[in-house]
């Protein structure tokens, strides 16, 4: 087997054989296939696609590159959620303890932000003392004692994907649907969860800009999970507007705690409950009532235990950025659009995100929203507040925002896009 023939097969729109896929994934993981060669293959896949058989084999080969976890020793059924990433998407933070409070075990392996999309681990690391990296034994112990764990995936879980993901990010091949699907599902299947709910974002702030692309990605991932024996369902959710009223690490943790305390923005509450119901149903806990667990404080109790179990102090003051800049409404009327991508890029440029994996992030940086589409605003009132420790970043962040919002005359009819747009099972 040689890598040139594998590249040529896909370049010429052929179907990769199981043997070719197994070999190229293994050889790349071992370093026998060079980055530039895998880059060429990834670009060929982006341009020419893969069929269901190829994607399933590619996913299986990535799983086989590392270890597989097992949660059979737990007394609770396991269920997990994965989001394809967005702006202000802090849903994992209230969702994991909420589902655990309803009787399931939630092994949530999460990642870091890159570019305009935020990362769950970056958000949680704004809590003093909290550790993202724990051993498999610690992970099982936290799951057993609290019902939920949010942590980084270990190096042994789908190492081929970790290497390929980093390459895709710097070669313009992130958007390849077969590679997105296999990347997500290889980790989730190797993780060993019994059920999986996929939150596939669609809109300007998501990787999938159109409902058609989001539907294709969701259907591909549901098929991969189902074929591997994992009960899998997907929700297509809106990401044309940021979720909630914050985009940034500590800002989003603060808002998540508000949700667990029974408050918080309505769109965050609605999506958290919708995903919780899907996760509990997939885990066989149809009679559980997540709305009750949110209202009676039991989800908050799990949150506090979960954070403490990984060294965090749930009572500690969260970091606050040293500098703020307020953007005011230029006119009075109805806010009809607030673009998720523009807000996400501004938050990233303020220091909430990173351009490279190695870059540090500012815990307090980000964007605070004072109005959402459909709200009436008055000329001169605060519309957005930018937060950063480094005021020289304001100028660059502000360049992302012109054209990111529209204000129509008062009385203009407005119809909100539902948070959940479609369900695919």
Q: Alpha-carbon distance 344 to 393, whole Å? A: 14
Active site residue 183: yes
Distances (CA, A) of 156 to 36, 160, 166, 190, 321: 24, 10, 16, 10, 36
- b/e map of 166-182 (b: 16 or more CB within 10 Å)? eebeebebbebbbbbbb
* Annotated active-site residue in 80, 89, 122, 161: 161
User: Is 187 labeled as catalytic in the residue annotation?
Assistant: yes
| Token digits of residue 395 | 């100028």
Which residue among the candidates 10, 81, 82, 116 is catalytic per the annotation?
82
Residue 284 to residues 77, 142, 225, 266, 280, Cα–Cα distance (Å):
8, 22, 17, 27, 6
Output the CA–CA distances (angstroms, integers) from residue 206 to 117, 130, 197, 210, 354, in the order listed: 8, 28, 18, 9, 17
Catalytic pick from 187, 215, 349, 393? 187
Catalytic-labelled residue, pool 183, 186, 204, 240? 183
Distance of CA 261 to the CA centre of its chain: 23
Residue 155: both structure tokens together: 């190096």
C-beta of residue 178 within 8 angstroms of C-beta of residue 54: yes
Q: Please tell me the distance from the alpha carbon of residue 205 to that of residue 187, in angstroms, as a whole number.
A: 24
Question: Does 168 qualify as catalytic in the annotation?
Answer: yes
DSSP state at residue 237: E
Whole-number Cα distances in Å, 351 to 84, 321, 383: 21, 10, 20
Q: How far, in Å, CA of 11 to CA of 285, rounded? A: 47
The H-assigned helical ranges of 230-365 are 249-260, 266-282, 290-295, 298-309, 340-347
Active-site pick, 168, 188, 277, 387: 168
List residues with catalytic annotation: 82, 161, 168, 183, 187
């Amino acid at each position: 087997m040689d890598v040139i023939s594998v590249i040529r097969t896909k370049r010429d729109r052929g179907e990769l054989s199981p043997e070719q896929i197994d070999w190229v994934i293994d050889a790349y993981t071992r370093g026998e296939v060079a980055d530039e060669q895998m880059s060429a293959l990834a670009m060929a896949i982006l341009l020419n696609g893969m069929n269901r058989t190829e994607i399933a084999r590619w996913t299986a080969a990535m799983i086989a590159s590392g270890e597989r976890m097992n949660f059979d020793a737990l007394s609770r059924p396991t269920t997990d959620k994965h989001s394809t990433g967005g702006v202000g998407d802090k849903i994992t933070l209230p969702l994991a303890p909420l589902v655990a409070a309803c009787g399931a075990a939630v092994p949530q392996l999460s990642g870091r932000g890159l570019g305009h999309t935020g990362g769950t681990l970056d958000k949680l690391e704004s809590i003093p003392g909290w550790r993202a990296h724990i051993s498999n034994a610690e992970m099982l112990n936290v799951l057993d004692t609290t019902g939920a764990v949010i942590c980084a995936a270990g190096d042994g879980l789908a190492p081929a994907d970790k290497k390929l993901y980093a390459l895709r990010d710097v070669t313009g091949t992130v958007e390849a649907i077969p590679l997105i699907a296999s990347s997500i599902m290889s980790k989730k299947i190797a993780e060993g969860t019994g059920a999986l709910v996929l939150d596939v974002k669609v809109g300007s702030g998501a990787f999938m800009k159109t409902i058609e692309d989001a539907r294709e990605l969701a259907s591909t991932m549901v098929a991969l999970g189902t074929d591997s024996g994992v009960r899998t369902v997907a929700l297509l959710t809106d990401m044309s507007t940021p979720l909630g009223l914050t985009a940034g690490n500590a800002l989003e943790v603060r808002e998540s705690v508000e949700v667990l305390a029974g408050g918080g923005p309505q769109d965050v509450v609605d999506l958290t409950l919708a995903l919780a119901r899907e996760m509990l149903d997939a885990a066989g806990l149809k009679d559980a009532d997540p709305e009750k667990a949110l209202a009676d404080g039991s989800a908050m109790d799990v949150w506090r235990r979960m954070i403490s179990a990984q060294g965090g102090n749930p009572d500690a003051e969260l970091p606050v950025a040293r500098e703020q800049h307020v953007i005011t409404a230029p006119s009075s009327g109805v806010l009809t659009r607030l673009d998720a991508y523009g807000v996400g890029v501004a938050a990233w440029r303020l220091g909430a995100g990173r351009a490279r994996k190695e870059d540090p992030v500012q815990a307090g940086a980000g964007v605070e929203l004072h109005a959402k589409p459909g709200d009436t605003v008055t000329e001169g009132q605060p519309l957005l507040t930018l937060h950063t420790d480094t005021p020289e970043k304001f100028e660059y962040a502000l360049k992302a925002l012109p054209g990111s919002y529209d204000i129509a005359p008062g009385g203009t009819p407005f119809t909100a896009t539902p948070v959940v747009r479609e369900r695919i099972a």
